[in-house]
Structure 1
Amino acid sequence: MRQPPGFEQGAPGMVCKLNKALYGLKQASRSWYLTIQSALFDLGFTQFKADHSLFIRKSKIETIYLLIYVDDMLIMGISSSGIAKVIAQLNKKFSLKDLGEVKHFLGVEVSKTSGGLHLSQAAYIVELLNKVKMSEAKPCPTPMVSDLKLSKVEGEPTIDGKLYRSVVGSLQYATITRPELSFSVNKVSQYMACPLDTHWRAVKRILRYLSGTIDYGLHVKASNFKISGFSDSDWASDIDDRRSTTGYCVYFGDNLISWCAKKQKVVSRSSTEAEYRSLAHTVSEITWITSLLQELEIPMQTPPVVWVDNLSTIALASNPILHSRAKHIELDIHFVRDKVAAKEIDLRHVPSLDQVADILTKPLSLQFFTRLRNKLGVCSLASLELRGSVNLVDIKQAKEEKIQASWKDVLLGPLPMKLDKRKEMQHVACGPAILASC
């Protein structure tokens, strides 16, 4: 350690005594980032422009990726010897602890399955339920009632605001692997300043839903290199200020990699304007993801496809003649037209029933919620381990293709192991809820 330039005091070699830990200082995070960044540059790593927390070191023999979050790191490479070499080099400058193959990272549990990886936060959710003493609460099938309308004025201010903000903040972190919670958590987050009893009941409903789906999480599997997105909005859904809700989700192949549910900053005069603003957010996110994939040297097979359930929005993004109808819309949103004209984005229409982003804009009934949750790739780890490599089949699709199979054949298929009668009956019984859609 040394004294900062311009503030030297006492004899040479003397340093200041810290009365506060470095983690508590405002500049501590910036100082640490510059230190680890300089160390990685010395080891031959280069930094990604699209994501400054991602570093890469390429050679003729191997390629190593390193992702940092404060003082936690993820290292990925082809050979274990190359990874061990990087760890040894970093260990000379910092005190490291090698945890081996990734199983936990920032509260996210990584489990290997026969078809890929399952990302969940089961331990974090259990801790949260114990914190609010709801570990034994009766589970709910959905995180929010389908006809619920929350307001800033309807209810009684009898809730501990500190507890409310603490629980809602914890729920926000749980959405890292639970995208189906994004809308409900975003909704209750809008009342942190003055929570009412109606808001607290909505939070408890989310916790009851979590108590019945503790081991649920995102399932990531091998897929193609196509990017697709779903964009949707709920026009004037907030009964207090009549602002719309934006929702989008982006897929890389069959895997969900980005999603968002948030209230728009301005009031939209029409449903087309609300949908257009949501589309602009979706295209902006896809543009960033595309630039990151280009730096990763992942080839793009086709232009990204964005599915929208509003034909007027597609016309507004594709036809400049309609500009007279949208003079009040900010000019920066019209960058979508440039992307469409340059064929960097392919806009297509999707029926409202198949709009996956619908789960991110409004509360849904159990039937639609379960179907869209499965399309997001959220499932139970126990169900994946039970089925093995079984392919789920949509009931509607099976009927259209005239697949003549019994429930048992559709659900079980060729199992890699032999089940006894009791386990077989349990497997059949839990099928229809999971089979609703894939």
Structure 2
Amino acid sequence: MLILLALEDIVVDEKTVYRCADDPNMPNLEEIVYSEDDEGVGAEADMNYLDTVMPFWIEAMQDELLQFKLQKVWTLVDLPYGKRAIRTKWVYRNKKDKKGKIEAIRLFLAYASFKDFIVYQMDVKSAFLYGKIEEEVYVCQPLGFEDPKFPDRVYKVEKALYGLHQASRAWIASTPIETSKPLLKDAEAKYVDVYLYRSMIGSLMYLTASMLDIMFAVCACARFQVTPKVSHLHAVKRIVRYLKGQPKLGLWYPKDSPFDLEAYTNSDYAGASLDRKSTTGGCQFLGSRLISWQCKKQTVVANSTTEAEYVAASSCCGQVLWIQNQLLDYGYNFMNTKIFIDNESTIYIVKNPVFHSNTKYIEIRHHIIRDSYEKRLIQVVKIHTDHNVADLLTKAFDVSRFQFLTASIGMLNL
């Protein structure tokens, strides 16, 4: 859905087109600027492309707005006297996440805890997971999709994402994902409401910004958003039931911990049940303060455990380099950052400057770790598998192992 809600006092890109429904200056389609780069440099839209895509886009928009209406996410009302409606905004641009935004906040919090600073405000309260919204929120009807009977009315938002809070009315789960039941296509099972499923996944993805204990489970469930089945919905509900039993679990940043940068990396070889691709896991610490983590299915099938581990280590190295660069602003110039790896063959390849048969199928971009090692930006250190905390981001575990890893990674009941 290409609607963004923007309060009038929020600064937006001047090249981005946004208007309220009653604005006489709303441009024609030919005047809209399309851009696909991060800097927002305008380029004229390919009108033939828009003519082809627009009917499908409009149909999808109408379908989604209908689902919101059926789920009572909002109701159409007259704007009360003295109230202002939030404007809707069309964005014809490939929006890309600003890499490192969340990590930069965590890095600052880690630094603040190390220096014993007082942080007065770092976030804005969100209504994503609270079901019913108590405050009155009004939104202009989307341009081009106004109700023909009541074109001047506005949406009164009743609740944000409508599915997550309904899933927690049951027993509590001790882990976010089962170990004995891998998620499959489940071809014979019944389909479930795709909008409900996607809204729950979206809410849970929002939570992974601070709760890495559900990261692997959420990523696993997110792979079935196109055609979710009953078993997939049950898996999502299990995550919610786990969260219900952990209302005070969170990251702990102790002020008396050192301020040394170190990282852990791991991979679950061929662990993805659908296509046998491997899962990359990585996490980075400042002392015992976890500031960054990654869980991602690799793009190609690895030929060996070593290749999967090497790709994971390279991804972790890239994040370490970014953190090193960020810490320069804090006056810290970290070199030889330790990356802990539990695979000896991977360590051997990183240290061996000669390319051989074991590496010829690995994409060149993954060899950034070898270059970083030669420049002494990082070092690779062997760690026993049992103590590799990045394991939490690669697979499902039983209760005892899961609780050990969450505690080891710095998650405590606060």
Q: Given the two structures, how large is their TM-score scaled by the length of structure 2?
A: 0.65
Q: Say which SS state the counterpart of residue 180 (structure 1) adopts.
A: helix
In proportion to residue count, which structure has more helix?
1
Shift of 1:27: 6.9
- Change in 2 beyond 3 A, CA 1:350/1:168: same
- Are positions 1:326 and 2:359 aligned together? yes
Of 284, 292, 296, 1:250 maps to 284
- Are positions 1:212 and 2:230 aligned together? no
- Are positions 1:105 and 2:123 aligned together? yes
Shift of 1:23: 4.7
CA offset digits 1:254-310 (Å, max 9, x no partner): 10000011100111000000000000100000000000001222343x521111110
Shift of 1:28: 10
Q: Say which SS state the counterpart of residue 133 (structure 1) adopts.
A: helix
Gap regions ≥5 residues in structure 1: 6-14, 31-48, 56-65, 68-76, 81-99, 109-122, 382-438
Q: Say which SS state the counterpart of residue 199 (structure 1) adopts.
A: helix
Measure, in 2, the Cα distance between the counterparts of 1:378 and 1:152: 33
Measure, in 2, the Cα distance between the counterparts of 1:380 and 1:198: 30
- Change in 2 beyond 3 A, CA 1:170/1:224: same
Shift of 1:136: 3.5
Give the counterpart letter for 2:392 in structure 1: I
Partner of 1:235: 269
Gap regions ≥5 residues in structure 2: 1-13, 16-22, 28-84, 110-114, 132-160
Shift of 1:322: 5.1
Q: Is the 8 A contact 1:50 1:292 kept in 2?
A: no
Partner of 2:303: 269
Q: Which runs of structure 2 are paired with 1:99-248 in the superposition (5 Å)?
A: 101-102=120-121, 105-107=123-125, 125=129, 127=131, 131-222=164-255, 223-248=257-282
Q: Is the 8 A contact 2:162 2:196 kept in 1?
A: no
Structure of greater Rg? 1
Shift of 1:333: 1.0
Q: Is the 8 A contact 1:50 1:291 kept in 2?
A: no
Q: Which runs of structure 2 are paired with 1:16-165 in the superposition (5 Å)?
A: 16-18=24-26, 23-26=88-91, 101-102=120-121, 105-107=123-125, 125=129, 127=131, 131-165=164-198
Q: Say which SS state the counterpart of residue 202 (structure 1) adopts.
A: helix
Measure, in 2, the Cα distance between the counterparts of 1:324 and 1:51: 39
Partner of 2:62: none
- Change in 2 beyond 3 A, CA 1:52/1:134: closer
Shift of 1:154: 4.6
Give the counterpart letter for 1:221 in structure 2: P
Q: Is the 8 A contact 1:146 1:365 kept in 2?
A: yes
CA offset digits 1:340-360 (Å, max 9, x no partner): 112111101111111101110
Aligned-residue RMSD, C-alpha: 3.7
- Are positions 1:286 and 2:304 aligned together? no
Q: Is the 8 A contact 1:22 1:28 kept in 2?
A: no
Measure, in 2, the Cα distance between the counterparts of 1:79 and 1:359: 31
Q: Is the 8 A contact 1:126 1:214 kept in 2?
A: no
- Change in 2 beyond 3 A, CA 1:237/1:135: closer
Q: Say which SS state the counterpart of residue 321 (structure 1) adopts.
A: coil
Q: Say which SS state the counterpart of residue 325 (structure 1) adopts.
A: coil
Q: Spell out structure 1 runs of 4+ moving beyond 6 A.
A: 27-30, 49-55, 77-80
CA offset digits 1:231-276 (Å, max 9, x no partner): 0000111222111001101101110000011100111000000000
Measure, in 2, the Cα distance between the counterparts of 1:140 and 1:134: 12
Measure, in 2, the Cα distance between the counterparts of 1:187 and 1:51: 24
Measure, in 2, the Cα distance between the counterparts of 1:51 and 1:210: 25
Partner of 2:142: none
Measure, in 1, the Cα distance between the counterparts of 2:318 and 2:288: 20
Q: Say which SS state the counterpart of residue 189 (structure 2) adopts.
A: coil
Measure, in 1, the Cα distance between the counterparts of 2:309 and 2:117: 46
Q: Say which SS state the counterpart of residue 220 (structure 1) adopts.
A: coil
Partner of 2:155: none
Measure, in 1, the Cα distance between the counterparts of 2:344 and 2:282: 17
Equivalences, count: 300
Give the counterpart letter for 1:210 in structure 2: L
Q: Say which SS state the counterpart of residue 203 (structure 1) adopts.
A: helix
